[in-house]
Amino acid sequence: MSAAAELSKADDRELVSFRVGGQDFCVDIMSVREIRGWTPATVLPHAPSYILGVINLRGAVVPIVDLAARMGLEPIRPDARHVIVICVVDNQTVGFLVDAVSDILSVKRSLIQPTPAVSSDVTRAFFEGVIAIDQRMLRLIDIEAVLPPIAARQERA
């Protein structure tokens, strides 16, 4: 985003909201590349339980994270009704499996509240904050924090 655009939008954030395990979450629209239906993934050995495997996204091998499992909720049993939100952060492409995408909304920065201290520190690190909208609570996910750690990269560095 250009500096000027940044300035004019400084007060607003565009977010994509979705439902996972009966709760509302959202991510910054800047990191969302596309939204697609569920396709069966190829299982990765020795992977954490929240990694469902990898799918073929137009020739790229993209890992799929069960966002529910990642958040400590009941793992999703994926079927055709589920949706994958493809995100790109730092050139790493990852798909997040969610129950359904709800909306795209524009939220004033000032409305983003710090994450309440109810959850464990680990889980809390997944969120940038929470937003109250229409008597719902939207949990704003910090994509980088929920990305699966790239083990080999750290090993090889």
Partner 1 sequence: MSSSIDIRQTFFQECEELLEALDDGLNALAAASEDGSVDSETVNAVFRAVHSIKGGAAAFGLESLVRFAHQFETALDAMRSGKLVATPDIVRVFLRSADYLADLIASARDEVPPTSSAGPDLMERLAQLVPSNGARMPAQPAPATPAPTTVSDADDLGFQPLALAFDFAPEPASPAGFTIRFAATKQLYGNGNDPVHMFRALAELGALESLADSSALPPLDQMDWATPYLTWELVLQTSESQHSVHEIFEFVDGLCSLEIRELQADAEPDRDQMIAEAADFSTPTPTVTDRPPAEPAASGPARAASGKSAAQSAGQKGSVRVDLELVDRLINIVGELVINQAVLAQCVQDAGIGAQSDVGAGLDEFRNLARELQENVMAIRAQSVKPLFQRMARIVREASDIAGKTVDFVTEGDAVEVDKTVIERLVDPLTHIIRNAVDHGLESAAARQTAGKPAAGRICLSAAHRSGRVLIEVSDDGAGINRPKVRQIAIDKGLIAADAVLTDSEIDKLLFLPGFSTAPKVTDLSGRGVGMDVVRSAIQSLGGRVNISSTPGKGTTMSISLPLTLAVLDGMVVDVAGQTMVVPITAIIETLRPAASDIHPVAGAGKVVAVREKFVPIIDLAETFGHRPTSPDYSNMVLLLVESGQNERWALAVDRIHDQRQVVIKGLESNYGHVPGVAAATILGDGKIALIIDPDETAQRKRPQAAFAPALMTEEV
**Interaction site with partner 1 (CB under 8 A):** 40-47, 51, 53-56, 58-63, 91-94, 148-153, 155-156
Beta carbon of residue 60, minimum distance to partner 1 (angstroms, whole number): 7
CB atoms under 10 Å from CB of 22, counted, come to 9
CB of 117 to partner 1, least distance (A): 32
Separation of alpha carbons 85 and 67, rounded Å: 10
Q: Among residues 65 and 138, whose Cβ is nearest to partner 1? A: 65
Nearest to partner 1 of 105, 145 (CB atom): 145
Minimum distance from CB of 92 to partner 1 (Å)? 6
- Comparing CB distances to partner 1, the nearer of 134 and 155 is 155
Sequential DSSP letters for 77-130: ---TT-EEEEEEETTEEEEEEESEEEEEEEEEGGGEEPPPTTS-HHHHTTEEEE
